[in-house]
Structure 1
Amino acid sequence: MVLSDVPPLSRAAIALAVMVLAGCAVGPDYVRPQMDVPVAYKETGGPWKTAAPQTIDASHPWWDAYGDSTLSALIVQANAANQNIRVAEAQYREAQAITAAARANFFPTVGINAGATRAQSNSTGTVKLGTTDTLGLAASWEPDIWGAVRRSVEAGSASEQASADDLAGARLSIQTTLAQDYLQIRVIDLQRDLYASTTTAYAKALELTQHQYAAGTVLRSDVALAESQLKTAQAQAVDLDAQRALLEHAIAVLTGQAPASFSLPPLESSSQPPTAETLSSAAALRVQLPVTPTGLPSELLERRPDIAGAERRVQAANANIGVAKAAYFPQIVLSASGGFSAATLGTLFNTPSRVWSLGAALAQTVFDGGLRKAHTDQAVATYDASVAQYKQTVLGGFQQVEDNLATLRVLDNESALQADAVRAAQLAERLALSQYRAGTATYLSVVTAQTLSLTNQRTAAQVLGRQLAASVSLIAATGGGWNAADAAQKTSGN
């Protein structure tokens, strides 16, 4: 069919119909899946939720709240050099390219062709040999009448935003993992100081028993007990070195370096023996334990990259249903071509050599063995799965916030009790040693008091480490200051 053969009135009717149909798109319009969001978090017993009404400020790095310049420098380096972040960045660029490819289907395809054909013909016994030269342009366009292209672009844009959310999630994961590893190293440094002062005290106790044994006032078993106590503490200190080395290697990889080229100097050792206060306070590690506001549960839907990404994938799956349903409707392709065709190259651009054509084609699949229905059912099933995944991600986010709020609340109380236990154990150790010097107690009571004191001091340091780790986990669980609306605005601006 050639449009020039269609009456003007019919051509106007066709154009009007195309314009009207172009405004519709088959398939369901997207609506965010409904979630039963609680009004408030269950765990409200500690200061970690109610201390500040505002959310974390996304315009400032959340790690600066710990007040450690070394930590901040390491995270900045990880943001620039971590390979997992680079993978996520490349995947985001890939998603952008897919969206651009889908958007290109809005426009016609235009091509240029040129050729020369030499042929022999036989007409009524006359043999002719001639050359035909051609030069022209050809264009074709499929109007998006049923919205298949629009739905494809919608799906691509949603997937692009989901990829941007994945990138933010990858950054947050690397940042929080690095922060936790770094803070655990500082806790190990605190424990190394504890063991340094402890082994010094145990060495003095061993020397005391040796003098008393030489004087004949104690048994050889007292010397053996003192020596065993010292060697056990020294062995535990060596184990701390192994733990620190593993964490140091992990930080090196997170910052894009080989472990052999990275080292983290320990904190300067204190000349004073650790006390209950230094073992229970983050100030002893040259860091601060920030109070992390968590906001309302409904805000979590916009502040966690994984939740936002899961919701964008629901939108992409919803749009793909429209793409599948558009296959039920006929396809209309408009085409046009124009150019020159002549028997000789010298006459190629003469007026008689001009050629052109306009056309329209209508195609409709009549039977496909249920292929289109299968594709539609597949798209619907994918949508249902993405909705379930989105809801599960939301529930998991609520659980992580509640878990860390509960952990911080409990550890806050445990830290205070453990500090009291450290004070009591240190007092018992001093008294037992004094009684032993006076000859009113056996060395076994000294060893028991020393073991109890060291255990309580190490537990206090470990509780501090758990507090720091939980505070980082809470920041990650609440999105680290990230906001879906801000991210979408940046994505649309690209």
Structure 2
Amino acid sequence: MRKSLWTPLLALALAACATAGPDYRPPEKSAATTPGARGAFFSAQGTALSDAELPDHWWRLYDDPKLDALVEQALAANTDLRVAEAHLTAAQAVLREVEAGRIVGTAVGGGAALARPSGTGESLPGVVGYDLGLSASYPLDLNGRIKRAIEAGAADVETVAAARDHVRVGVAAATAGAYAQVCAANYSLGVNRRVVAVQRETLAATRRLFKGGRGTAFDVSRAQAAVDASEASLPAFDAQRRSALYLLATLSGRAPADYPRDVEGCAVLPALRAPLPVGDGAALIRRRPDIRQAERSIAADTARVGVATADLYPQISIGGSLGLSGPLKGFGSGTGFGMSLGPLLSWSFPNRPVVKARIAQADARVQADLASFDGAVLEALRQTETALETYRRHAEQTAALDRARDSAGLSAGQAGKLFRFGRGDFLSLLDAQRSLASAEASAAAARVQLVQDQIAIFLALGGGWSAP
């Protein structure tokens, strides 16, 4: 009878010796494998861009030690990064817990009891007995349930690590953007102050002409209005600078009042020393942490299909125990010693419909992960193409605005000469200076936007983290 009981169980266990569930393979037919996704970017045109590989520390391309220091400080102390690091530590601890399922498990137990047979008619206290035992078990994992759980845990760790790297990308870009905003505010402030200085010279000349009888009070009031209007725009630049300084402090894990004083006076826009390296679609897919995060989610959930499938088969481990039991007065005698050694079997039968339902749920999660992976790839490509196209068009716009500013400056200079020599009217002079002020402001804003466009490209390319 004993042989007939164990034979089918052992046969079933041996049938499950192959690791349950599918082995993970990267998606072969996905958005990431199409030629259009892996080739050169459609919008990467012009001499300002190159197909070179983007370096991990892309902010160093600006060759600005202050920017380098700010980014390094943010990457070391940013609160969002600290949260991401804590999540990674937790995931690694979960993996260690799962890996511990492969080691020998032990248990120690013991107890004492007072027993007196009923019906003796005596009032004696009875007999004090004891029971001490040590048991150990080792899971054989014939169906690979533990192995698949470890695979899932390892992929989860890599998923969380990718999420941490994605935060690093955002922190680096936000820090560089805030630094550029500080410099841009001071740069724009300087441009507009120069415009105000020219208008003040015109105002002074108008007053002299009025005193000499060659002008009118109306001319003076219009010149004063032009100065006042231009000066009204100056405080906004100081507010922009303060806002960016406070953001820099927060990104570096400091209070806003503790903003970096050494960059407060920066008035030169960050400039690249070489064409901006963008690589191609294949490099983007390899680099973007959110794409890696989506791919690792597929691996984790594929392993969980195996975990669910393993429940269709019995779980077998080797167990043994040692024990002493008997009356306390005979403690330690050989007659109270016992031991056992043999296989331990557990199985969820007859709840197979429940197990199959869990397998179906795990399969559905994998399909959802595949769709999310394709979505992450397509979104990364869209963001990059959009950033490149925006940068290219803004570069064309900046060149046109520079030409318009130069023309407006020439026109304003000519109008000033004509007015001083009495060959031009004051209204023409004010109109020329108003056009110059507008052209100067527009050209400056365009140059500021170009720097922000560059940082947007670096963000879309997923730079800012280093592979271990």
Secondary structure of the structure 2 residue equivalent to 1:178: helix
Matched, 1:28 2:22: yes
Q: Quick one: structure 1 residues 71 and 267, their matched pair in 2 at CA, closer, same or farther if it must change by over 3 Å?
A: same
| 1:148 equivalent among 140, 145, 149 | 145
The one of 236, 239, 242 equivalent to 2:239 is 242
One-letter code of the match for 1:207?
A: A
1:71 aligns with 2:67: yes
User: 2:331 aligned to 316, 326, 348, which one?
Assistant: 348
1:446 is matched by which residue type in structure 2? L
Q: Is this contact kept in 1: 2:284–2:461, CA < 8 A?
A: yes
Does 2:75 align with 1:89?
Answer: no
The unaligned stretches of length 5 or more in structure 1 are: 270-283
Alignment partners' CA distance in 2, 1:201 and 1:171: 45
Q: Quick check: 181-190 or 438-447, which moved more?
A: 438-447
Q: Look up the match of 1:384.
A: 367
Deviation at 1:472, TM superposition (A): 1.7
Q: Does 1:393 align with 2:391?
A: no
Is 1:305 the counterpart of 2:283 in the alignment? no
Structure 2 letter corresponding to 1:119: A
> After superposition, what is the alpha-carbon deviation per residue over 1:35-69, rounded to whole angstroms, capped at 9, x for unaligned?
2242322123223543x53x2333xx321211111
Aligned to 1:349, the other structure's residue is in SS state coil
**Paired amino acid for 1:93:** T
> Is the contact made by 1:292 and 1:474 (CA closer than 8 Å) also made in structure 2?
no
Percent identity of the aligned residues?
28
Matches within 5 A, 1:1-16: none
Contact 2:269–2:451 (CA under 8 A) maintained in structure 1 = no
2:347 matched residue in structure 1: 363
Q: Verify: 1:165 aligned to 2:157, yes or no.
A: no
Equivalents in 1 of 2:448, 2:348: separation in Å?
A: 67
Query: Alignment RMSD, CA only?
Result: 2.7
- Preserved contact between residue 98 and residue 156 of structure 1 (Cα < 8 Å): yes
Normalized against structure 1, the TM-score is what?
0.85
Corresponding residue for 1:109? 105
Q: In the aligned structure 2, how far is the partner of 1:328 from the partner of 1:16?
A: 14
Secondary structure of 2:276 counterpart: coil
Provide Cα deviations, 1:344-367, integer angstroms capped at 9, x if missing partner: 27x533433322123523434214
Return the match for 2:55 from 49, 54, 57.
57
CA-CA distance at 1:248 after TM superposition: 1.6
Deviation at 1:268, TM superposition (A): 6.5
Q: What residue number does 2:275 align with?
A: 291
Residues of 2 paired with 1:443 and 1:115: CA distance?
109
Residues 48 and 405 of structure 1 are in contact (CA less than 8 Å); yes or no, is this contact kept in structure 2? no
Alignment partners' CA distance in 1, 2:92 and 2:232: 55
User: How many angstroms does 1:204 deviate by?
Assistant: 1.7
Counterparts in 2 of 1:268 and 1:132: CA distance versus 1, 3 Å: closer
Report the equivalent of 1:185.
182
Aligned AA (2:374): K
Aligned 1:410-421 pairs, distance under 5 A: 410-421=393-404
Where do residues 152-231 of structure 1 align in structure 2 (5 Å cutoff)?
A: 152-231=149-228
Select the residue among 421, 425, 438 that pairs with 1:455.
438
Output the CA distance in 2 between the equivalents of 1:307 and 1:448: 54
Secondary structure at 1:40's aligned position in 2?
coil
1:17, distance to aligned residue in structure 2 (A):
7.9
What is the correspondence of 1:466-481 to structure 2 with a 5 Å cutoff?
A: 466-480=449-463
TM-score calculated relative to the size of structure 2: 0.89
Looking at structure 2, the residues matched to 344 and 164 of structure 1 have their Cα atoms a distance apart, in angstroms, of: 57
Q: Which residue of 1 aligns with 2:255?
A: 258
Query: Which amino acid is 2:23 matched to?
Result: D
**1:121 and 2:108 aligned:** no
Letter matched to residue 63 of structure 2: G
Q: Contact between 2:133 and 2:324, CA under 8 Å: does it hold in 1?
A: yes
Aligned-pair CA distance for 1:482: 4.4
- Following superposition, the deviation at residue 312 of structure 1 comes to 0.3
SS state of the match for residue 122, structure 1? Answer: coil
Deviating 4+ runs (over 6 angstroms): 13-17, 123-128
Shift of 1:383: 1.4
Counterparts in 2 of 1:381 and 1:363: CA distance versus 1, 3 Å:
closer
Q: Aligned-pair distance for 1:414? A: 2.7
Stretches of structure 2 lacking an aligned partner (at least 5 in a row)? none
CA contact (8 A) 1:49 1:295 kept: no
For 1:266 and 1:441, the matched residues in 2 are separated by: 43
Select 1:324's aligned residue among 298, 301, 308.
308
Residue of structure 2 in register with 1:275 after alignment: none
Q: 2:186 touches 2:238 (CA, 8 Å); kept in 1?
A: no
